[in-house]
């Protein structure tokens, strides 16, 4: 989206007067604005431009046989509009230079590129702006005078602009508003939890990690972080953004296209990641991509197995969400589902982030049959590779409630059928 692509493979590029046009070639969003030549899968490498719409078309031709960007694609594929634009002046200094791209310029580029792509693929799902974090979606890294409860965040500006542009174009231009969320929460010593990746953690560090997903939704939870300080209280980010979408651009979806809460060599990481997955469903997140911060994060990957393949085979969380709430969310979070393919089947995921066992009553949803328990805990994970749920017994259930004991610091999947 910056407008330039690499012209060679000759090593470092000068940043004294970016961009050095001897080392880059222009990137053009729409080929027809420059030439009447048809698209080709073998474009010239000696001309002076790369065309984005032709590039996307060539990918569509190459992969999946019948295309990947169409409405009926066998492998539907999103297009994300670049990455972390608020940081271009540091991450891509050799192109951007030291001056950040302005919010107005960025939005104008977004509209132009999205139009070029949707001219070619009207049904493609386009994702943007791929914020690096809260500073981008709040104030465009300090450019805007955003206020905590105001409608003057960058998100408000972007959503309103895209709504107007989409109405003029005749269809939405950006389909998913996305951002990255590497938790900024800290432990009592001020260490950011994404840096807490050792196998030994203090109780306070465990709780900083395990409680951190609550900042995505819980209006009663205040983490220790600079974001909490900016907002002056609970972050509750997803409801805030959903409200902004409802006000400015109804129909826009939400995505977390990179995220991580740390603790991934400890059961704390399992607790946080399992909670994230439940929250994404409960809060209507359209898509999310877990982003490892190291090459060794077994406990965070284990959390996915609490929802998919928890029996070591193909058993999964149900495909119909059931609203669930906790009377003691600081200790226990619970997520519930039913299975449209198997009437009468119910699947729960219960997370105990307390350092003591909790006797828990799941009530309000009719259950009948046998509850099959699968569990990840610090003790069960010892020596495992990969870390995964283990069978934790069965119990007969009938009626509208289910009582069970949740061990300290554990994730339990309850499959009732």
pLDDT, tens digit, for every residue of 332-362?
Answer: 999 999 999 999 999 999 999 999 999 999 9
Q: What is the pLDDT of residue 65?
A: 67
Question: Residue 72: which pLDDT band, with cuts at 50, 70 and 90?
Answer: confident
Q: Which CATH class is domain 320-416?
A: mainly beta
Q: Where are the alpha helices (DSSP H) in 32-102?
A: 52-62, 88-91, 93-96
Residue 55's pLDDT is what? 95
Q: Indicate the class that CATH gives domain 4-305.
A: alpha beta
| Mean pLDDT of the region 289-307 | 97
pLDDT at 74: 83
Strands 320-322 and 287-290: unpaired
Please give the backbone phi and psi of residue 181, each rounded to the nearest 5 degrees, phi first. Answer: -140, 85
- pLDDT of 88 > 80? The answer is yes
pLDDT digits (tens, 9 = 90+) for 39-66: 999 998 888 899 999 999 999 988 866 6
Catalytic residue among 84, 94, 223, 297: 84
Q: What is the mean pLDDT of residues 255-265?
A: 98
- Give the three-class secondary structure for 343: coil
Tell me the CB-side half-sphere exposure of residue 363, using CA atoms within 13 A: 6
Q: What are 299-324's pLDDT values in tens digits?
A: 999 999 999 999 999 999 999 999 99
Residue-range domain boundaries for the chain:
4-305, 320-416
Do residues 290 and 212 lie in contact, with contact meaning Cβ atoms separated by under 8 Å? no
The answer to whether residue 84 is catalytic is yes
Q: What does the alpha-carbon distance between residue 417 and residue 414 come to, in Å, rounded to a whole number?
A: 10
Query: What is the number of other CB atoms lying within 10 angstroms of the CB of residue 26?
Result: 15
pLDDT for 283 equals 96
How far apart, in whole angstroms, are the C-alpha atoms of residue 367 and residue 381? 29
Report CA torsion sign: 176, 182, 183, 184: negative
């Amino acid at each position: 989206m910056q407008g330039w692509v690499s012209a060679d493979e000759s090593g470092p590029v000068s940043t004294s007067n970016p961009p050095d046009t001897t080392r880059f070639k222009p990137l053009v969003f729409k080929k027809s604005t420059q030439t009447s030549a048809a698209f080709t899968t073998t474009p010239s490498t000696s001309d002076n431009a790369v065309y984005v719409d032709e590039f996307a078309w060539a990918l569509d031709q190459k992969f999946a046989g019948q295309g990947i960007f169409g409405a009926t694609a066998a492998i539907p594929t999103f297009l994300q509009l670049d990455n972390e634009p608020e940081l271009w002046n540091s991450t891509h200094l050799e192109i951007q230079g030291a001056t950040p791209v302005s919010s107005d310029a960025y939005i104008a580029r977004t509209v132009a590129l999205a139009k070029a792509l949707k001219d070619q693929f009207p049904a493609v799902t386009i994702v943007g702006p791929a914020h690096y974090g809260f500073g981008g979606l709040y104030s465009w890294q300090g450019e805007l005078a955003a206020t905590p409860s105001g409608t003057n965040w960058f998100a408000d500006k972007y959503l309103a602009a895209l709504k107007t542009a989409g109405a003029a174009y005749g269809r939405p231009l950006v389909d998913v508003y996305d951002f990255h969320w590497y938790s900024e929460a800290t432990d009592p010593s001020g260490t950011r939890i994404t840096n807490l990746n050792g196998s030994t953690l203090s109780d306070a560090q465990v709780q900083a990690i395990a409680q951190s997903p609550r900042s995505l939704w819980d209006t009663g939870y205040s983490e220790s972080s600079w974001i909490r300080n900016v907002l002056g209280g609970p972050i509750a980010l997803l409801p805030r953004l959903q409200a902004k979408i409802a006000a400015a651009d109804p129909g826009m979806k939400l995505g977390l296209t990179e995220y991580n809460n740390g603790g991934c060599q400890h059961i704390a990481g399992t607790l946080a990641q399992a909670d994230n997955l439940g929250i994404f469903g409960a809060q209507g997140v359209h898509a999310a991509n877990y982003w490892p911060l190291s090459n060794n994060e077994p406990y965070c990957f284990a959390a996915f197995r609490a929802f998919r393949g928890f029996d070591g085979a193909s058993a999964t969380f149900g495909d119909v969400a059931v609203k669930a709430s906790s009377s003691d969310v600081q200790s226990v979070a619970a997520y519930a589902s039913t299975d449209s393919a198997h009437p009468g089947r119910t699947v729960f995921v219960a997370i105990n982030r307390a350092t003591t066992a909790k006797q828990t009553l799941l009530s309000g949803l009719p259950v009948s049959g046998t509850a099959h328990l699968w569990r990840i805990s610090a003790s069960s994970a010892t020596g495992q590779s990969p870390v995964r749920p283990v069978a934790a017994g069965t119990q007969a259930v009938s009626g509208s409630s289910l009582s069970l004991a949740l061990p300290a610091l554990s994730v339990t999947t309850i499959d009732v059928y």
